[in-house]
Amino acid sequence: MKPVTLSIDAMGGDAAPQVVIDGLDIFLGRNSGFAIQLHGRADELKRLLNGKSWSRQCEIVDQPDVVAMDAKPSSALRRAKGTSMGGAIQAVKDGTTAAGISAGNTGALMAMSMLSLRKMAGVHRPAMTAIWPTLKGRSVVLDVGANLEADADQLVEFAVMGESYARAVFGKEKPTVGLLNIGSEDEKGRDAVKFAAEILRTRDLGIDFKGYVEGNDISTGAVDVVVTDGFTGNVALKTAEGTARLVSTYVRAALTSSLLSKAGAALAASGLKDLRNKLNPSNVNGGVLLGLNGVIVKSHGGTDAEGFATAVKLASDLAQSNYMDEVAAGLKRVSKLGISPEAVE
């Protein structure tokens, strides 16, 4: 069988390229049937690959430039050519690779991906996903920052794309979908959210729509897919990250506050290791800009090797799934209905 090739931005992220190489080490140690196209400074990468068992599965594409983590998307766009990020995306566009992964500048990655891969037919606004740890396992939240606002049509599109994505990533046949709102009553919430709910409730889109969910329902895993606009989704995601960090700090303080509690923590070490694993953002690393003609996965810029491996695994799962066909079919159903917020009012 021909290997599935993935293109990697080797220079993106806070600790690149070392973390990228270490992450690929982990990914390729666990998964077979893949080839890697590594975009970045060839001499630096050659040195790092030296002695790796998988260096023969790996092609280095020399890219002299790197998109700075603080570069503005507009300026990054103008200088995309010759960058490790631009090269990794272009390979997906050309069909040379099945998916691309970068831990670099998020805004630049979104802008370059949109310009290069273009939106799928029927998509008005691509949406950024996050995978969220829950009491039941994992959920998808979208949009977490690709757009500042979303009208009802766009929220419905996000629901269609998110549902297909959840099926591809979680392997669940019929993922459940909820709309993020304040209060669960029908009459509450912003107009766009209410119109979107009306569409999802009444039109036959083949989606298992569970109605409104509130912020606290995300972590319980009330639904598999939580749909919201990019502003609200981004604030929710970062608020959750901040809260988890706050609570972890408290836990650490509690378990080192005295000799006795330190001894207790030592006894409870294996349980606490489980806890660290559960709270480890590496385990849920990987955002995808849904709605483009190609798979690009964004890894957290500050990720460790394990997290980068998670993002690569996500990309490989998507590349081998038929989620793009599913999204296309779902969007066709939406466009056939000819829905618009006005039609529902």
Interface positions with a second copy (CB under 8 A): 72, 107, 133-135, 145, 148-149, 180, 182-183, 187, 189-190, 214-220, 228, 230-232, 234-251, 253-258, 260-272, 274-275, 278-279
> Residue 235 or residue 344: which is nearer to a second copy going by CB?
235
Three-state SS at 186: coil
Nearest distance from C-beta of residue 102 to a second copy, angstroms: 18
- CA dihedral for 66, 10, 6, 120, sign (positive or negative): negative
Cα–Cα distance measured from residue 284 to residue 231, given in angstroms and rounded to the nearest whole number: 21
Nearest distance from C-beta of residue 228 to a second copy, angstroms: 8
Backbone angles phi and psi of 191, in degrees to 5: -55, -45
Residue that the structure tokens 């409104």 belong to: 212
How big is the CA angle at 329 (ends 325 and 330), to the nearest 5 degrees? 115
> Residue 3 or residue 183: which is nearer to a second copy going by CB?
183
> Residue 201 or residue 250: which is nearer to a second copy going by CB?
250
> Residue 79 or residue 262: which is nearer to a second copy going by CB?
262
Nearest distance from C-beta of residue 275 to a second copy, angstroms: 4
Cα–Cα distance measured from residue 206 to residue 291, given in angstroms and rounded to the nearest whole number: 18
> Residue 234 or residue 310: which is nearer to a second copy going by CB?
234
Cα–Cα distance measured from residue 303 to residue 51, given in angstroms and rounded to the nearest whole number: 24
> Residue 47 or residue 238: which is nearer to a second copy going by CB?
238
Nearest distance from C-beta of residue 344 to a second copy, angstroms: 18
Nearest distance from C-beta of residue 248 to a second copy, angstroms: 7
- CA dihedral for 208, 321, 146, 341, sign (positive or negative): negative
Nearest distance from C-beta of residue 285 to a second copy, angstroms: 16
* Contact in structure between 120 and 293 (CB atoms under 8 Å): yes
Q: How many residues does the chain have?
A: 345
Nearest distance from C-beta of residue 33 to a second copy, angstroms: 34
Cα–Cα distance measured from residue 14 to residue 42, given in angstroms and rounded to the nearest whole number: 19
Nearest distance from C-beta of residue 239 to a second copy, angstroms: 4
Q: Residue 89's closest CA among 121, 68, 67?
A: 67
Nearest distance from C-beta of residue 7 to a second copy, angstroms: 27
Structure tokens at 243: 């809260």
**Bridge-based pairing state of the strands 208-213 and 34-40:** unpaired
* Contact in structure between 126 and 160 (CB atoms under 8 Å): no
> Residue 55 or residue 261: which is nearer to a second copy going by CB?
261
- The full DSSP string for 245-283 is HHHHHHHHHHTTSSHHHHHHHHHTHHHHHHHHHHH-GGG
> Residue 1 or residue 260: which is nearer to a second copy going by CB?
260
> Residue 243 or residue 335: which is nearer to a second copy going by CB?
243
Q: Residue 10's closest CA among 72, 89, 85?
A: 85
* Contact in structure between 223 and 177 (CB atoms under 8 Å): yes
